[in-house]
A and B are shown apart, each in its own frame.
Chain A
Amino acid sequence: MAAVETGRYHRTYESQLRLWHTRPQLIRIGVVAVIAIIVPFVFDNYWLSLANTALIASIGAIGLNVLVGYTGQISLGQGGFLAVGAFTSAILTDRMGVPAPLSILMAVATTAVIGVLFGLPALRLKGLYLAIATLASQVVILFIVRRWNFLTEGQGFVDVSRLEVFGFKIERSTFEQQWYIILIIVTVLVAITATNLFRTNIGRAFMAVRDQDIAASAMGVNLTRTKLTAFAVSNAYVGLAGALLAHYSEIISWEKFTMDVSILYLAMIIVGGLGSIAGSIYGALFMTFLPIAVRMFGEVIGGVVPQVQKQLPAVEHAAFGLVIIIFLIFEPRGLNRIWQRIKDFFGFWPFRY
């Protein structure tokens, strides 16, 4: 049970339905906002590029969490769906001259449609069986991306021209800063819309399908429609992440969307917290900065144990696996739950509960 704010009496349902009620909550939001604003002025390009990667990952992780964490439909096809978004937007802008904002929107729509298509097995399959079916979507999409010469014109990669939005073009010198601003706005919009979705009947139906699908159908929830809507919404976000990734990295090839990527995203939402929007962001940040932390650790410890530095890629993989295992054992509900417990500790203090 979370700490409850006391002395606060809601007089309308409207006030109770607000997301933020207490002053500490508003202060925390303010602090996060201030940090987000000063980041581009404080950090250099290297750290900003990491931040941008983490923000794109956040959008993708929120998308995956809508499907896996909220609707309970396991998906191993994340990499493939990112590829759909990335290639759609890249090809539309570069070869067909569609303006970037429009091509991104079209990528979102395309990924949503293809997501629904590959979501059809979910109407019959559950759990592990569905995981294998979505694994097939990963393999199929990646196969198409690798072998269909039209996509890369036989080069094996697509060059994407620098992002241009309504005549405003990203500058070489302030590339990372400008992208940071774009990505933070998009991430906030994605987080808000996803949060809103789960305050309404549609999102509740997703969660009902996850918890008890038979009872949900007896309550009048159309399972077919709900599951396919979940696939569409989830993959729309994933497609957005893919399209942004294409425009941000300016070159895409199939290597960016392998099975490893799908598993990395699953790791993000497990570490961050299944069924939590904030958790998706925590998880994306955590998994993006984990290899950096391991590398820094290797440098520090390199003087004492040089083997660690020599075997750095292996150590990174080991750390990746270890983190997932540790979370699954000690806090399956992820970083989001840990953060809640910290808040509760201070909320209840000096009592334990």
Chain B
Amino acid sequence: MRTRAYQHSLSGSSMAAGQPLLEVEALSLAFGGVKALSEVSFTVTSGSIHAVIGPNGAGKSSLLNCVSGLYRPTAGSIVLNFVAGEEGRKRTQRMSAPSDEREAGEKSIERRALTRLKPNRVARLGVARSFQNIELFDQLSVLENIMLGRHIHMKQNLAAAFLWTGPARKQEIAHRVIVEEVIDLLKLQAERSKPVGTLAYGIQKRVELARALAMQPALLLLDEPMAGMNAEEKEDMARYILDVHELAGVTIVLIEHDMNVVMDISQQVTVLDFGKVIADGTPAEVMKNPAVVEAYLGAQK
């Protein structure tokens, strides 16, 4: 019997761990008179799980929407760093050869502002995301949903698509191989050909993670991947996120409400309250911060 190992790196960034990957600087976002974000600054380092927490309405999702290009911030900048020549489709070629551990130091780092880009351009730079309210393509199967994660890496040739035999089929099969590795990693084999609309909530959340991971992202943004789950499901999901982080080596920005989960799996925590950063640091530091305690539990009398 033949066994298969993971042949493709699912991380789209070969930046050395600890280098700044995403730099958010003085980001502000206002909807009319409502200030959703004001002067938010923080840095996500390569190879970490960075949690963003805060009470309801603190601006966490708005922040993520700004990064992925769905909202246009009123002021400030968001910069993605990557090793030069690795953005977008160019990464596909690198993926086909087993990626050797290259020193990022010898490569020049390129900085790209995300602030003025449309969502699809941001995605092409390697920023993948999941949504708070599941936004899967309901009528498509799990496989087709995850295949859509490969969209940025695939050529769009209409004539070849009409013909099917030839380049179109070859491309489908080539990308199917990577999709199958994602399916293996997230244990979605049994659900592969089911329409996602019929699946249980927890599995749909996992399909969203898989779809984002199939992009071979440089940065993975997860908006409340464990919302509405019971303790056991949360534990499973946390395990999958850790797998994605440790086995696939993807840098993750995570929005989460459950403090226990955040403290357990993240290396860096940014706390938002009323659109402002009130604390930033390791989980242990943040937990001791009086401002955080006040925001979450109310001031002690």
Contacts and interface: CB of A to CB of B under 8 A. Distances in A.
Contact of A202 (B70, B140, B158, B169): B158
Interface residues of A, number: 32
Contacts of A233: 158
A223 B121 CA distance: 11
A221 B173 contact: no
A13 B173 contact: yes
Nearest to A222: B120
Contacts of B164: 196, 199-200
A1 interface: yes
Interface stretch (B146-154, B255-263, B270-278, B284-292): B146-154
Contacts of B122: 218
Contacts of A220: 120, 123-124, 151-152, 215
B31 interface: no
B162 A223 contact: no
A201 B131 CA distance: 22
Given A14-B169, A204-B148, A212-B136, A218 B123 contact: yes
A208 to B, nearest CB: 5
A229 B128 CA distance: 24
Nearest to B162: A193
Contact of B140 (A17, A193, A207, A223): A207
Contacts of A222: 120
Given A202-B156, A207-B137, A212-B136, A218 B176 contact: no
Q: Which of A197, A203, A220 has the most CB of B within 10 A?
A: A220
Contact of A212 (B137, B152, B156): B137
Nearest to A198: B161
B129 A207 contact: no
Q: Which of B120, B154, B163, B175 has the most CB of A within 10 A?
A: B120
Given A201-B151, A201-B156, A204-B144, A218 B70 contact: yes
Interface residues of B, number: 45
A275 B139 contact: yes
Nearest to B157: A202
A174 interface: no
Given A201-B156, A214-B135, A218-B119, A208 B140 contact: yes
B288 to A, nearest CB: 36
Interface in A206-226: 207-208, 210-212, 214-223
B107 interface: no
B135 A205 contact: no
Contact of B151 (A199, A221, A275): A221
Interface string A212-251: 1011111111110000010001000000000000000000
A205 B151 contact: yes
B151 A200 contact: no
B131 to A, nearest CB: 6
A128 B232 CA distance: 43
Nearest to B195: A1
Interface string B101-119: 0000000000000000011
A351 B171 CA distance: 39
Contacts of A217: 69-70, 118-120, 123
Contacts of B243: none
25 contacts: A1-B198, A13-B176, A196-B168, A200-B160, A200-B164, A200-B172, A201-B147, A201-B154, A202-B158, A204-B140, A204-B151, A205-B156, A210-B137, A210-B139, A212-B135, A217-B120, A219-B123, A219-B148, A219-B151, A219-B152, A220-B124, A220-B151, A220-B152, A223-B120, A233-B158
Interface of A: 1, 13-14, 17, 193, 196-197, 199-205, 207-208, 210-212, 214-223, 229, 233, 275
